[in-house]
Amino acid sequence: MSAVTAPTKAPRLTRWIKRRLSSIVHDVKSNKISYLFIAPFGIFFFGFTLLPVLLAMGLSFTHYNMLEAPQWIGLQNYLRLFFADDVFLIAIKNTFVFAVITGPVSYFLCLVFAWMINDLQPRLRAFLTLLFYAPSISGNVYMIWTYLFSGDSYGVINGFLSYWGLIDKPIQFLTDPDWMMPIAILVTLWMSLGTSFLVFIAGLQGIDPTLYEAGAVDGVRNRFQEFMYLTLPALKPQLMFGAIMSITGSFAAASQIIPLVGFPSTDYAAHTVVAHLLDYGNIRFEMGYASAIAVILFLAMVITQQIVQGLLRNLDS
Amino acid sequence: MKLSIREKKVTRSAGGDTIVFILLVIGGTFMALPMVYTISQAFKPMNELFIWPPRFFVRNPTMANFYDLFLLMEDSWVPITRYLFNTLVITAFGTCGHVLMASLAAYALAKHKFPGRGVYFNIIVFSLMFAWHVTAIPNYLIMSHIGWVDTYLAIVAPAWAMPLGLYLMKQFMEQIPNPLLEAARIDGAGEFKIFWSIVMPNVKPAWLTLIILSFQSMWGETGARFIYTEELKPLPYALNQIVSGGIARAGTGAAVTVLMMLIPIIIFIINQSKVVQTMGSAGIDK
């Protein structure tokens, strides 16, 4: 049977491919100008964002030290990560705690402060927008927190605490495992009112005032009812976008922890997946292993995003 | 008290106003204190920097820290103007390329219908969801493979294709009324002409926003991952060296931080209303 059908199938396949190809060529020709417009961005985006993700996935199945050619080792990197690398498990736990706290809290702060600021007069609104947004754009100004929390006698907070007689020896905020994570979260929250915050401010300003007037006529009594029944639904597109930025931010913020608490941190108490990735990628040059860490990080981000997007989409039902 | 700081509405009570006011004061203070402290620190003379008990505000402001900073810079092996020049080159090329490429692509995505358009845009939105750490290692391998390590291209080229810029620009361009473009097409204008002389002037808030976003990331770029030649290193790298001098450089370090944060903040202040206007169209409608 197969001997009979094969010859007829093959030409059909090539004919199908040919037809497909010529239709693609036709598409490209008739939309040449559009493809020209998207090409420059597309080339660099593919080369330095998409291709690296694919490469990381491929490399994660290899042993690669940048000197010898990559060697295929199957799932060994992943098995080692989850079964033989205690530090990685600490990193996962820390990243999870960190992301679960900073992500939602920063999202909530962005929304609530944007909402409160939006009620003010334009001048005051512009000033407060700048004040809340500034820490996220001021480069490494967050390093000032190391002076504030420093464990020696020059640490400002320790200085005040001991001057007031509240402590008799300085608290090692940045090296004591009990303090490191809370401090890292505090500093991250401080500088997390970024793009989401601006998007919320802009979204709130774009809401038609007649919506509120109609709501007031319909019996909306106070600002919280107004917020829940009118503002939130009207802000849904911005809320979706803000969620993406907040989640990415909460995973990526780990790189700001490192200058704060040092690397490696005491007892790995503030060791995150990103820190682990930098350890193997930049210091030990175990590129295959580091790629496996990157892939895990990538999957964690994407899965979190999908869950949160799904939740938000069903918000009004 | 008629000195109301907001417009009057029936849904606002005096009690609620008080709570909001208190929360804003607490939040605002928390946001401002570290920055106020940095500025105060930058103007403190030596004896106030190391005084005990510590002082939050400066008593006798002095420019000594800035003066020390310039002295340090004069002594550096590579002149500081060279670092500044490097940062200006990176910022200028990175920002111009990004705005141009993102706008071109955004125009086609917003106003043209062609196969693959949906896929292209969905991939862009998808890529907003992951941070640069994921791509850092393969990026380095790619850069070293094509010989771009130790050149500005390694920093600038990935920044040209930042997905956030394309996303914001495309969302904003959708607001341009189609009849405006149709009219130009009937007048015989080519697509590039339409893009340049009709679309771009109409999306000024959006490209100002892209300039700011790109500027912020390029201005703070230390080049640590790709640039190894001292003469090619950007300004933040050199300044970080000064700051990392430890407690003895507390004052100079604060002076550096003040200078570095001042410029992005000033640029944001100038363009604030345009940025907010652009962000207004950034929502995801599904």
CATH number of the domain encompassing residue B157: 1.10.3720.10
* CA A140 remoteness from chain centre: 19
Residue type, B220: G
Cα(B103)–Cα(B173) distance, rounded to whole angstroms?
9
Q: Are residues B197 and B82 in the same domain?
A: yes
Q: How confident is the model at residue A111 (pLDDT cuts 50, 70, 90)?
A: very high
Task: Kindly state the percentage of chain A with pLDDT values over 70.
Answer: 96
Contact A225 B11 (CB under 8 A): yes
Contact A148 B112 (CB under 8 A): no
Q: Are residues B131 and B50 in the same domain?
A: no
Q: Are residues B119 and B52 in the same domain?
A: no
Reported ipTM: the value is: 0.88
Domain span at residue B118 reads 72-279
Contact A159 B54 (CB under 8 A): yes
Question: What's residue B284's pLDDT?
Answer: 81
Q: Are residues B137 and B221 in the same domain?
A: yes
Residue B247: inside a domain: yes
Distances (CA, A) of A55 to A46, A51, B137, B284: 12, 6, 9, 29
Count of domains forming chain B:
2
- Please state the rounded mean pLDDT for residues A87-95: 91
Contact A130 B115 (CB under 8 A): no
Q: Are residues B24 and B145 in the same domain?
A: no
Alpha helices, DSSP H, located in A138-269: 144-149, 156-163, 177-190, 195-206, 209-217, 223-226, 232-234, 236-252, 254-261
Does pLDDT of A2 surpass 80? no
Distances (CA, A) of B178 to A31, B6, B110, B183, B195: 18, 38, 10, 9, 13
Question: What's residue A255's pLDDT?
Answer: 72
Cα(B54)–Cα(A156) distance, rounded to whole angstroms?
6
- Please state the rounded mean pLDDT for residues A195-202: 91
Q: Which two tokens stand for residue B90?
A: 């990176």
Residue B188: inside a domain: yes
Contact B24 A128 (CB under 8 A): yes
Cβ density class A53-80: b for 16+ within 10 Å, e for less: bebbbbbbbbbbeeeeebeebeebbbee
Dihedral sign computed on CA atoms, order A284, A288, A292, A294: positive
Q: Are residues B141 and B207 in the same domain?
A: yes
Interface probe with A: pick from B5, B6, B9, B11, most Cβ of A within 10 Å: B11
Portions of chain A given CATH number 1.10.3720.10: 79-313
Residue type, A159: G
pLDDT along chain B (286 residues), means of 10: 54 84 94 91 86 82 88 79 90 95 96 91 90 86 92 93 93 92 91 93 91 88 86 85 74 85 90 88 77
Cβ density class A266-300: b for 16+ within 10 Å, e for less: bebbbbbbbbbbbbbbeeeebbbbbbbbbbbbbeb
Question: What's residue B269's pLDDT?
Answer: 92
Cα(B256)–Cα(A210) distance, rounded to whole angstroms?
48
Q: Are residues B156 and B28 in the same domain?
A: no
Among A143, A136, A145, residue whose Cα is nearest residue A113: A136
Phi then psi for residue A71, to 5 deg, are -120, 125
Question: What's residue B1's pLDDT?
Answer: 39
Cβ-based contacts of B217 with chain A (< 8 Å):
none
Q: Within a 10 A sphere around the Cβ of A85, how many other Cβ atoms?
A: 18
Q: How confident is the model at residue A201 (pLDDT cuts 50, 70, 90)?
A: very high
3-state class of B281 per DSSP? coil
Question: What's residue B81's pLDDT?
Answer: 83
Does pLDDT of A148 surpass 90? no
Interface probe with A: pick from B46, B284, B286, most Cβ of A within 10 Å: B284
Q: Are residues B80 and B161 in the same domain?
A: yes
Q: How confident is the model at residue A89 (pLDDT cuts 50, 70, 90)?
A: very high
Q: Are residues B44 and B182 in the same domain?
A: no
Residue B111: inside a domain: yes
Q: Are residues B47 and B80 in the same domain?
A: no
Residue B2: inside a domain: no
Q: Are residues B159 and B51 in the same domain?
A: no
Q: What is the CATH number of domain A79-313?
A: 1.10.3720.10
Contact A38 B24 (CB under 8 A): no
Cβ-based contacts of A27 with chain B (< 8 Å):
114-115
Cα(A136)–Cα(A193) distance, rounded to whole angstroms?
6
Residue at which a domain ends, from B41, B62, B83: B62
Question: What's residue A208's pLDDT?
Answer: 87
| HSE of A180, CA atoms in CB hemisphere, 13 A | 24
Among B19, B34, B21, B162, residue whose Cα is nearest residue A189: B34
Question: What's residue A7's pLDDT?
Answer: 55
Residue B96: inside a domain: yes
Q: Are residues B170 and B119 in the same domain?
A: yes
Put simply, whether B271 touches A (Cβ < 8 Å) is: no
Cβ-based contacts of A239 with chain B (< 8 Å):
283
